[in-house]
C-alpha cells in the first residue's frame, strides 16, 4: 500500500465519477475508461498544471490518442481542476461540449481524437516545437494496445526516434483487448515492448495501475536520448468486477442494478 | 508555377519565422535550400503522408504555419482522415502544396493521375483550394494563403502557365463560353480558338467556384462548356450544375472531363475532347 493517500483515494474518486457520468448518460466505453485511470492521473500529476491553465507555449502537452477514453480523461481533468464538477456531470448529454470522444472544443484539451492512430503524429509535431524553443516540457500521449495496429503510429514513432525526441512519452494502455476481441487473437501484438525497442524507443513495462511507477518513468525520460514508450499493463474495466477483461464493456452501457453493484464494488 | 510558389515561400520564410516547411521525401533539387537556410523549420518526414499531416497539425497547434509538400494525390488521399480530423476540424493554418494535376504525370500510370484530388478535399468544410494558371495567379494564391492562414490546398499544374489572348477574353457578347482550370487549360484554349468562344479560367476551386461563376456573369450566357482535368461528378461541372439549380437558370451545360483513369499511355483530356468534337 502507498503511504500517499492521493494514490488510493484519487483513483477511487475518478472511478466513481466515471461510473456516475456513464450511467447518467447511458454512455459506453466503460472498459477503456477504467483501464486508463492511473495512466491519465500520472500524465497530469507529472505535468505543470499552471502552465496548462495559462496555455503557456512551453506547457506540457497531454494528448489522448485513444479518444474513447473520454469519460476517464474528463474525470481526471476534474481531479486536477481543469473541468468543473458541474460541467463533468453534463458528459454525453444533449448540448454538452463533453462528447463521447475527447474534443479540443473543451478547454485545456490539446487535440480532438476518436479515429485511432492520429495522436502520436500530432504529439511529434508538438515535441518538435518544444525542442525548437528549447523547452524542457514533455508531450505525453495515451495510446491503446489495439490502436497500435494502425500503421500511422509507427510512422510517427520512426520520425520521433530519428529526431531523438526524448520529450515524447507514449503510454500504451496494454489491456490486451481491442474493440471486439482479445488482441492476441485479432492482431497478435505479443512482445509489444520488443517491437517498440526494434524501432529505437526506450521501453519500460510497468504496472499500469500504479500511479507512482508510471510517474517515475515519465520523469526518467529527460535523461534519455530517445522517446519513451511505457507499456502499461492494465485490466480493461479495472475496478468493476463484472466488466473486467470482457470486451463487451467497450460498448455496453450500465443499468441501475449494475450501476449500484459497480459503485458498491469500488468501496 | 511550382518553382515560383516555392521561391515565394522561401522568401517569405525569411520574414516570417512561424512558417515551417515539411516534405514527405519529395522535391529533389527544390527543397534543399529550405533545409540549408532554415534547418530548424524544415522537416522531411519520410514517405509517410499520414504522419506528414499529423506532425503539421501538432506544429500548427503550437503556433506555427506549416506548409506540407508532396505530389498532389499522395498529399490528399493517403492522409484524408488526418486532413479531416487533424487539420479541418481544428481549423489549423496549414497549407498543403501539391505538385501536378490531372494527367500531368500520365505516363507514370493510373496511381499518378490526379483526377479526384480536389473533389475529395472539397467535400470537407471551410478548406480553400487554389489552382494557379499563370505566374500572377501563383502570386495571388500565395498572398491569400499567407495573409489569411486557414486550411488550404494548393494544387499546382506542371509548367509555367498559360497566356490568354485578349481577343478571346474580349468576346463576351457570345451566348456561349468556356470555363476551365488546371492542366485542362491548353485543351480549353484550343477548343476556344477553334470556336471563337470566350474562355474564363478559375484559380479557386471548391465552394469558391460559385463566386467565380458570378464574377464572369454566367447568367448572361445560354451555354457553358466546362473543360477540366478532374472527374466531372466531383469537379467544376457539378458546381455549375448546382449554380444552375440554385439560380433557376436555363443554362445548357456541357462537360469535357476525364471519366476514368487511363489504361494505357497517351490518353489525356484531349482525347476526351476529340470524342465529343
Any CB–CB contact under 8 A between B25 and chain A?
A: no
To the nearest whole percent, how much of chain B has pLDDT over 90?
83
Which whole number is the average pLDDT over B157-178? 75
Q: Nearest chain B Cα to A57, which residue? A: B62
Task: Inform me whether the pLDDT recorded for B27 exceeds 50.
Answer: yes
**What element of type H or E holds B118?**
helix B117-122
| B61, closest residue in chain A (CA to CA) | A126
For residue B113, the distance in angstroms to the closest alpha carbon of chain A comes to 24
Instruction: Check whether B59 has a pLDDT greater than 90.
Output: yes
Provide the pLDDT for residue A1: 42
**B43 at A interface, C-beta within 8 A:** yes
B46–A155 CB contact, under 8 Å: yes
Question: How many Å is the Cα radius of gyration of chain A?
Answer: 17
Confidence of residue B13 (pLDDT cuts 50, 70, 90): very high
Instruction: Please give the grid coordinates belonging to residue B18.
Output: 512561424
Domain B166-276 class? alpha beta
Segments of chain B assigned to CATH 3.40.50.970: 2-156
A180 compared with B62, residue with greater pLDDT: B62
Instruction: Write the residue in A57, A115, A124 that is nearest to B58 by C-beta.
Output: A124
For residue B89, what is the nearest residue in chain A, using CA coordinates? A112
Whether residues A128 and B59 touch (CB distance < 8 A) is answered with yes
Query: Is the pLDDT score of B119 beyond 60?
Result: yes
Range B21-42 average pLDDT? 96
Between B173 and B111, name the one with better pLDDT: B111
pLDDT digits (tens, 9 = 90+) for A226-253: 999 999 999 999 999 999 998 888 888 8
> Average pLDDT of B207-220?
95
Cβ separation of A126 and B59 shorter than 8 Å? Answer: yes
Across the interface, of A113, A129, A152, the residue whose CB is closest to B51 is A152
> Which part of chain B has CATH 3.40.50.920?
166-276
Gap between the Cα atoms of A51 and A39, Å rounded: 20
Is B17 an interface residue toward A (CB < 8 Å)? no
Pairing of strands B128-130, B204-205: antiparallel
- Distance (Å, whole) CA B151 – CA B269: 30
The distance of A178 to chain B (nearest Cα, Å) reads 21
Cα A149 to Cα A33, A189, A192, distances in angstroms = 20, 8, 11
Chain A interface, mutation test: which of B58, B84, B87, most A Cβ atoms within 10 Å?
Answer: B58
- Is residue B252 pLDDT above 80, yes or no? yes
Please check the confidence at residue B169 and state whether its pLDDT lies above 60: no
CA distance B162 to B50: 34
Question: How many contacts does A have with B, using Cβ atoms within 8 A?
Answer: 90
pLDDT at B273: 63
The superfamily in CATH containing domain B2-156 is: Thiamin diphosphate (ThDP)-binding fold, Pyr/PP domains (3.40.50.970)
Taking residues B3-15, what's their average pLDDT?
Answer: 98
Asked if A39 is an interface residue toward chain B (Cβ–Cβ < 8 A), one would say no
Using the predicted structure, report yes or no on whether residue B163 has a pLDDT greater than 90. Answer: no
**What pLDDT was estimated at residue A73?**
98
Contact B57 A122 (CB under 8 A): yes
Q: Cβ separation of A129 and B55 shorter than 8 Å? A: no
Q: Which residue of A has its CA nearest to B60?
A: A125
What's the mean per-residue pLDDT of chain B? 92
Residues of B in contact with A112 (CB under 8 A): 85, 89-90
Q: Report ipTM for this prediction.
A: 0.95
pLDDT-based confidence at residue B277 (cuts at 50, 70, 90): very low
Is B147 within 8 Å of chain A by CB?
no
Is the CB of B58 less than 8 angstroms away from the CB of A125? yes
Name the closest residue on chain A to residue B46, using Cα atoms.
Answer: A159
Residue B168 has pLDDT above 70, yes or no: no
Which grid cell sits at A222? 529527460
Strands B65-71 and B95-99: parallel
Q: Which domains are delineated in chain A?
A: 6-266 (3.40.50.970)
Question: Which 90-129 residues of chain A touch chain B by CB within 8 A?
Answer: 104, 110-115, 117-118, 120-129
State whether residue A190 is helix, strand or coil: coil
Establish if B48 touches chain A: CB-CB under 8 angstroms.
Answer: yes
- How far is B30 from B185, CA to CA, in rounded Å? 25
pLDDT at B259 over 70: yes
Where chain A has pLDDT below 70, the residues are 1-4
Amino acid at each position: 500500500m502507498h503511504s500517499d493517500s492521493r494514490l488510493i483515494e484519487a483513483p477511487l474518486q475518478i472511478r466513481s465519477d466515471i461510473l456516475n457520468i456513464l450511467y447518467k448518460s447511458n454512455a459506453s466505453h466503460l472498459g477503456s475508461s477504467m483501464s486508463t485511470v492511473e495512466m491519465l492521473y500520472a500524465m497530469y500529476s507529472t505535468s505543470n498544471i499552471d502552465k496548462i491553465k495559462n496555455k503557456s507555449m512551453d506547457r506540457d502537452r497531454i494528448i489522448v490518442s485513444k479518444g474513447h477514453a473520454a469519460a476517464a480523461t474528463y474525470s481526471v481533468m476534474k481531479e486536477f481542476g481543469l473541468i468543473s464538477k458541474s460541467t463533468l456531470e453534463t458528459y454525453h448529454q444533449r448540448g454538452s461540449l463533453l462528447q463521447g470522444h475527447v474534443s479540443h472544443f473543451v478547454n485545456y484539451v490539446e487535440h480532438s481524437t476518436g479515429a485511432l492512430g492520429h495522436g502520436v503524429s500530432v504529439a511529434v509535431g508538438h515535441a518538435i516545437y518544444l525542442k525548437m524553443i528549447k523547452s524542457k516540457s514533455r508531450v505525453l500521449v495515451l495510446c491503446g494496445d489495439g490502436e497500435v495496429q494502425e500503421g500511422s503510429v509507427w510512422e510517427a514513432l520512426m520520425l520521433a526516434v530519428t529526431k531523438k525526441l526524448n520529450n515524447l512519452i507514449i503510454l500504451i494502455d496494454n489491456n490486451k483487448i481491442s474493440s471486439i476481441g482479445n488482441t492476441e487473437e485479432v492482431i497478435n501484438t505479443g512482445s509489444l515492448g520488443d517491437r517498440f525497442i526494434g524501432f529505437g524507443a526506450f521501453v519500460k513495462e510497468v504496472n499500469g495501475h500504479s500511479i507512482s511507477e508510471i510517474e517515475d518513468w515519465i520523469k526518467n525520460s529527460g535523461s534519455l536520448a530517445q522517446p519513451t514508450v511505457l507499456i502499461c499493463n492494465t485490466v480493461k474495466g479495472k475496478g468493476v468486477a463484472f466488466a473486467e477483461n470482457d470486451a463487451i464493456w467497450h460498448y455496453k452501457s450500465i443499468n441501475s442494478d449494475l450501476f449500484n453493484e459497480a459503485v458498491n464494488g469500488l468501496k | 508555377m511550382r518553382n515560383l510558389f516555392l521561391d515565394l515561400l522561401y522568401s517569405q520564410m525569411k520574414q516570417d519565422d512561424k512558417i515551417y516547411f515539411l516534405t514527405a521525401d519529395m522535391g529533389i533539387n527544390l527543397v534543399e535550400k529550405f533545409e540549408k537556410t532554415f534547418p530548424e523549420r524544415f522537416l522531411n518526414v519520410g514517405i509517410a503522408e499520414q504522419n506528414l499531416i499529423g506532425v503539421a497539425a501538432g506544429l500548427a497547434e503550437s503556433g506555427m504555419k506549416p506548409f506540407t509538400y508532396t505530389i498532389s494525390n499522395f498529399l490528399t488521399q493517403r492522409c484524408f482522415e488526418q486532413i479531416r480530423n487533424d487539420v479541418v476540424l481544428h481549423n489549423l493554418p496549414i497549407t498543403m502544396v501539391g505538385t501536378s494535376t490531372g494527367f500531368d504525370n500520365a505516363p507514370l500510370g493510373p496511381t499518378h493521375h490526379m483526377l479526384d484530388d480536389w473533389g475529395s478535399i472539397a467535400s470537407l468544410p471551410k478548406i480553400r483550394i487554389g489552382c494557379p494558371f499563370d505566374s500572377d495567379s501563383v502570386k495571388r494564391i500565395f498572398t491569400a494563403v499567407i495573409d489569411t492562414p486557414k486550411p488550404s490546398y494548393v494544387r499546382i499544374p506542371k509548367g509555367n502557365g498559360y497566356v490568354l489572348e485578349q481577343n478571346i477574353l474580349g468576346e463576351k457578347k457570345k451566348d456561349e463560353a468556356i470555363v476551365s482550370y488546371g492542366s485542362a487549360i491548353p485543351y480549353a484554349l484550343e477548343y476556344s480558338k477553334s470556336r471563337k468562344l470566350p474562355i474564363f479560367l478559375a484559380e479557386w476551386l471548391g465552394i469558391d467556384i460559385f463566386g467565380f461563376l458570378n464574377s464572369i456573369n454566367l447568367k448572361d450566357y445560354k451555354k457553358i462548356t466546362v473543360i477540366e482535368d478532374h472527374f466531372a461528378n466531383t469537379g467544376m461541372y457539378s458546381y455549375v450544375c448546382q449554380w444552375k439549380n440554385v439560380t433557376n437558370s436555363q443554362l445548357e451545360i456541357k462537360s469535357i472531363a476525364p471519366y476514368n483513369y487511363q489504361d494505357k499511355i497517351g490518353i489525356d483530356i484531349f482525347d476526351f475532347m476529340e470524342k465529343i468534337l
